[in-house]
Amino acid sequence: MEIQKGYKSIGSQRIYYEYYLQKQNSKTIVLLHEGLGSVAQWKDIPEKIFHKISYKPEFD
């Protein structure tokens, strides 16, 4: 599993992101939160979601 963390500029604003990658060409889930510090509030929920869906067979 690859994890990338950082900030992305959108217009004049910057947002913090965490990116979890199991394999190329996999499906994407985006979790958004309007408040500051949301990643800290979510704790390990995004990583748990990643592990839960990453190992299921994919059907198109």
Q: Each residue of 5-49: pLDDT tens digit?
A: 899 999 999 888 888 777 766 777 777 776 656 777 888 888 888
Structural domain contains residue 10: yes
- Identify the band that residue 54 occupies on the pLDDT scale cut at 50, 70 and 90: low
17 closest CA partner among 9, 28, 8: 8
Predicted confidence at residue 1, as pLDDT, reads 72
Looking at the structure of the chain, the number of domains it has is 1
Structural domain contains residue 36: yes
pTM above 0.85, yes or no: no
Cα gap 6→48, rounded to integer Å = 20
Which of 60 and 1 is assigned the larger pLDDT?
1
Structural domain contains residue 59: no
Predicted confidence at residue 34, as pLDDT, reads 67
Phi, psi of 16 (to 5 degrees): -85, 140
Residue 6's domain comprises 2-54
Cα gap 46→42, rounded to integer Å = 7
